[in-house]
């Protein structure tokens, strides 16, 4: 069940992250063509691109957590195995789960402080800018919880 | 301030050493600081700065350069560059070792990441070197050492990160990376030649000018990529994001339409892979927003600049001290993370004693890259050791002459600023 959930979430996030990059590339290249061939530019391209970049970053971070593919230094884990390695992973994922929940609360607070303010060129609610962090924090809490469930249900002696 | 520093950096380092993802270790450090020194870090600042960390259009360039490298690699470019390198230096004693270094130099022009370089070149050359009788540890070592050229020759992801955090022209930095990047290749080739000569490693037959011409013609479109990047930025014609977008579209166009080694399905998979590779760096930058905010509010950079000014006002000595510090920190920290954490602290110090910030950029990036091939963390050691099925200890031992060559070059770049600044001054 946990494995299916992790796999399903992973399969959902990878294309979403790819789409974000495709959108940013399409916008940036269109801007280059417009600017250098037609001496024109679209005002909202940078704001939309930054938002897509934020979505890509925070959704991608959840995907990387699920697949244990984030950058790490791994000094102690390289020298530990079995139970101790597992305990370390459990501690990291439990802390991450709690930290991500705290980040959801903090971002929610930040988001509400921007109520009624509009973004420059787009003239839309400024709170929209913080949705990627909020979604990412929720996703990280879920990913860490799933990883925790996997670790706790696995063989305690497995590396 | 010492207690604040201990909590912030202590938590971050402890998290990293224990194996937590780097971005999470940084976030934990921010949280620990916030809890320990409550009124100094309002909760709202954390929420805001996690977004503001990547609230710049320029960061899209990092994703574009990752994409260009991934597409070029998936589009069969590494095979073409290897053929060209083989036709050029394969016939010299220790040919495959020199091919490895030369191919990395050329590949550096299409990729800005050392890991991408080691994966692309190593996956083909390491097995070939082992079959030809090279020691597995040596095959891994030469691959790891030469992969560090990738982020110095433009396009370079660490130089983009340094430029954005230090407020230095990325065009100037890319130009400044050209000569040191080529010199890295030459210094490593010299080390490769000496070792190969001593061990009597084999050479392949000279394949003739015809093969050299055909290999060059086959690789020419890929070789144009660094030219596009450097010309676009050096002329001040385009921004780094625009140049990155053009480079990525160019890579897609030649891989799909000219080389035809990549189909739309493969392109979609490559796009997702590149996006996720970029996220490994972007999420650290995002979290660094809060981290840098704390460091700036502590006034650490100001204190450091004042302290250093009292020690010496010689830019060369200060630059050497910064390089040593980065070499030591690079043994445990990944290059981009190190640049993000340290650059905002060091730049005011360097500026106050007259260190050229473009020269500092190249020296800082090379110093942090050397960390990729030094124990205990050296990521490239483990990656290439796995490719060669060699023990990490053997790879570290075989890395000694290459490490010596890179450290000698680093010393030269510190003592002779003109090696770095000649090209930016000529074209900038």
Cα distance between residue B114 and residue B65, in whole Å: 12
Q: Do A64 and B276 touch (CB under 8 A)?
A: yes
Q: How far away is chain B from the Cα of A35, in angstroms, using its nearest Cα?
A: 10
**Would you tell me how many other CB atoms lie within 10 Å of the CB of residue A40?**
9
Nearest to B31 among A24, A70, A102 (CB): A102
Q: How far away is chain A from the Cα of B312, in angstroms, using its nearest Cα?
A: 34
Pick the closest to residue A17 from B59, B336, B270 (CA basis): B270
- Are B373 and B144 in contact by the 8 Å Cβ rule? The answer is yes
> Which residues of chain B have a CB within 8 Å of the CB of A24?
60, 63
DSSP calls for B99-119: HHHHHHHHHHTT---HHHHHH
Beta bridge partners of A125: A118
pLDDT tens digits, B299-344: 777 777 777 767 788 899 999 999 998 998 888 788 888 898 888 8
Quote the pLDDT of residue A156.
62
Nearest to A133 among B47, B249, B281 (CB): B47
Nearest to A76 among B18, B56, B271 (CB): B18
**Would you tell me how many other CB atoms lie within 10 Å of the CB of residue A109?**
14
Radius of gyration of chain B measured on its C-alpha atoms: 21
> Which residues of chain A have a CB within 8 Å of the CB of B245?
25, 28-29, 31-32
Phi first, then psi: give them for residue B207, nearest 5 degrees.
-90, 0
> Which residues of chain B have a CB within 8 Å of the CB of A78?
376
Nearest to A73 among B27, B48, B333 (CB): B333
> Which residues of chain A have a CB within 8 Å of the CB of B244?
28
Q: What is the largest CA-CA distance in chain B?
A: 72
- In three-state secondary structure terms, B262 is coil
Cα distance between residue A94 and residue A144, in whole Å: 7
Quote the pLDDT of residue A78.
67
Q: Do B47 and A110 touch (CB under 8 A)?
A: yes
Cα distance between residue A151 and residue B409, in whole Å: 47
Quote the pLDDT of residue B64.
93
Cα distance between residue A20 and residue A59, in whole Å: 10
DSSP calls for A33-98: HHHHHHS---TTHHHHHHHHHHHHHHHHHHHHHHTT-S----HHHHH--HHHHHHHHHHHHHHHHH
Give the DSSP H or E segment for A143.
helix A131-153
Ranges of residues in chain B with a pLDDT under 70 are 235-236, 309, 428
- Per-residue buried b or exposed e for B183-222, using 16+ beta carbons within 10 Å of the residue's own CB: bbbebbbebbbebbeeeebebeeebeeeebeebeebbebb
Nearest to A70 among B22, B48, B63 (CB): B22
Question: How many residues appear in chain B?
Answer: 428
- Substitution target from A71, A76, A90 for chain B, most B beta carbons within 10 A: A71
Residue in B closest to A134 by C-alpha: B47
Q: Do A21 and B50 touch (CB under 8 A)?
A: no
Residue in B closest to A98 by C-alpha: B28
Ranges of residues in chain A with a pLDDT under 50 are 159
Cα distance between residue B214 and residue B217, in whole Å: 5
> Which residues of chain A have a CB within 8 Å of the CB of B51?
54, 129-130, 132-133
Q: Do A73 and B16 touch (CB under 8 A)?
A: yes
- Three-state secondary structure string covering B337-367: HHHHHHHHHHHHHHHHCCCCHHHHHHHHHHH
Q: How far away is chain A from the Cα of B82, in angstroms, using its nearest Cα?
A: 29
Cα distance between residue B167 and residue A63, in whole Å: 31
- In three-state secondary structure terms, A120 is coil
Q: Do A73 and B334 touch (CB under 8 A)?
A: yes
Nearest to A73 among B27, B51, B332 (CB): B332
Cα distance between residue A64 and residue A9, in whole Å: 11
Beta bridge partners of A118: A125
Quote the pLDDT of residue B199.
92
**Would you tell me how many other CB atoms lie within 10 Å of the CB of residue B264?**
8
Quote the pLDDT of residue A159.
47
> Which residues of chain B have a CB within 8 Å of the CB of A89?
19
Residue indicated by tokens 């000219």: B258
Q: Do A72 and B16 touch (CB under 8 A)?
A: yes
Residue in B closest to A130 by C-alpha: B51
Pick the closest to residue B121 from B94, B134, B102 (CA basis): B102
- Are B75 and B88 in contact by the 8 Å Cβ rule? The answer is no
> Which residues of chain A have a CB within 8 Å of the CB of B338?
none
Q: Do B283 and A58 touch (CB under 8 A)?
A: yes
pLDDT tens digits, B401-425: 999 999 999 999 999 999 999 999 9
Cα distance between residue B313 and residue B301, in whole Å: 16
Q: How far away is chain A from the Cα of B174, in angstroms, using its nearest Cα?
A: 20
> Which residues of chain B have a CB within 8 Å of the CB of A139?
none
pTM for this model (two decimals): 0.88
> Which residues of chain A have a CB within 8 Å of the CB of B63?
21, 24, 53, 56
- Are B140 and B384 in contact by the 8 Å Cβ rule? The answer is yes
Residue in B closest to A48 by C-alpha: B57
Cα distance between residue A25 and residue B66, in whole Å: 12
Using CA atoms, how far residue B238 sits from B235, B242, B421, in Å, is 8, 6, 21
Quote the pLDDT of residue B406.
97
Nearest to A29 among B249, B271, B333 (CB): B249
- Per-residue buried b or exposed e for B403-416, using 16+ beta carbons within 10 Å of the residue's own CB: bebbbebbeebbee
Cα distance between residue B203 and residue A82, in whole Å: 46
Cα distance between residue B21 and residue A151, in whole Å: 17
Q: Do B18 and A88 touch (CB under 8 A)?
A: yes
């Amino acid at each position: 069940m946990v494995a299916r959930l992790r796999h399903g979430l992973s399969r959902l996030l990878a294309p979403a992250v790819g789409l974000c990059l495709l959108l940013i590339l399409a916008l940036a290249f269109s801007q280059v063509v417009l600017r250098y061939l037609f001496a024109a530019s679209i005002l909202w391209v940078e704001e939309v691109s930054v938002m897509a970049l934020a979505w890509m970053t925070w959704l991608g971070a959840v995907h990387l957590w699920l697949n244990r593919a984030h950058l790490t230094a791994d000094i102690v884990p390289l020298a530990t195995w079995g139970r101790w390695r597992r305990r370390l992973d459990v501690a990291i994922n439990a802390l991450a789960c709690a930290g991500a929940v705290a980040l959801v609360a903090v971002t929610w607070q930040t988001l509400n402080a921007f109520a009624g303010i509009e973004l420059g060129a787009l003239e839309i609610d400024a709170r929209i800018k913080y949705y990627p962090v909020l979604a990412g924090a929720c996703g990280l809490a879920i990913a860490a919880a799933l990883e925790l469930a996997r670790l706790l249900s696995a063989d305690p002696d497995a590396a | 301030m010492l207690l604040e520093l201990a909590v912030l950096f202590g938590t971050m380092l402890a998290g990293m050493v224990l194996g937590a993802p780097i971005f999470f270790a940084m976030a934990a450090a921010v949280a620990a600081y916030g809890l320990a020194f409550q009124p100094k870090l309002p909760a709202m600042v954390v929420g805001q700065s996690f977004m503001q960390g990547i609230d710049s259009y320029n960061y899209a360039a990092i994703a574009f350069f990752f994409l260009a490298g991934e597409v070029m690699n998936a589009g069969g470019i590494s095979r073409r560059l290897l053929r060209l390198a083989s036709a050029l230096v394969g016939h010299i004693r220790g040919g495959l070792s020199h091919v490895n270094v030369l191919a990395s130099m050329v590949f550096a022009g299409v990729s800005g990441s050392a890991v991408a370089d080691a994966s692309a070149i190593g996956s083909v050359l390491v097995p070939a070197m082992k079959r030809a009788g090279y020691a597995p540890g040596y095959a891994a070592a030469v691959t790891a050492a030469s992969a560090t050229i990738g982020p110095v020759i433009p396009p370079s992801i660490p130089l983009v990160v340094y430029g954005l955090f230090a407020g230095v022209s990325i065009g100037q930095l890319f130009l400044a990376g050209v000569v040191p990047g080529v010199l890295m290749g030459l210094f490593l080739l010299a080390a490769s030649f000496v070792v190969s000569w001593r061990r009597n490693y084999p050479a392949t037959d000279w394949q003739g000018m015809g093969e050299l011409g055909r290999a060059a013609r086959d690789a020419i479109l890929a070789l144009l990529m660094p030219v596009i990047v450097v010309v676009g930025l050096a002329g001040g014609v385009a921004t780094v994001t625009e140049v990155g977008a053009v480079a990525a579209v160019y890579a897609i166009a030649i891989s799909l339409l000219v080389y035809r080694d990549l189909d739309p399905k493969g392109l979609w998979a490559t796009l997702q892979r590149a996006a996720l590779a970029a996220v490994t760096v972007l999420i650290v930058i995002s979290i660094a927003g809060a981290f840098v905010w704390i460091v700036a509010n502590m006034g650490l950079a100001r204190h450091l600049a004042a302290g250093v000014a009292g020690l010496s006002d010689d830019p060369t000595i200060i630059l050497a001290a910064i390089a040593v510090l980065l070499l030591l920190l690079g043994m445990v920290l990944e290059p981009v993370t190190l640049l993000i954490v340290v650059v905002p602290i060091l730049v005011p110090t360097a500026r106050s004693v007259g260190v050229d910030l473009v020269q500092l950029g190249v020296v800082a990036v090379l110093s942090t890259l050397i960390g990729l091939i030094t124990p205990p963390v050296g990521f490239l050691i483990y990656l290439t050791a796995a490719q060669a099925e060699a023990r990490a200890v053997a790879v570290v031992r075989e890395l000694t002459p290459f490490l010596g060559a890179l450290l000698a070059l680093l010393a030269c770049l510190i003592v002779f600023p003109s090696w770095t600044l000649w090209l930016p001054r000529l074209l900038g």
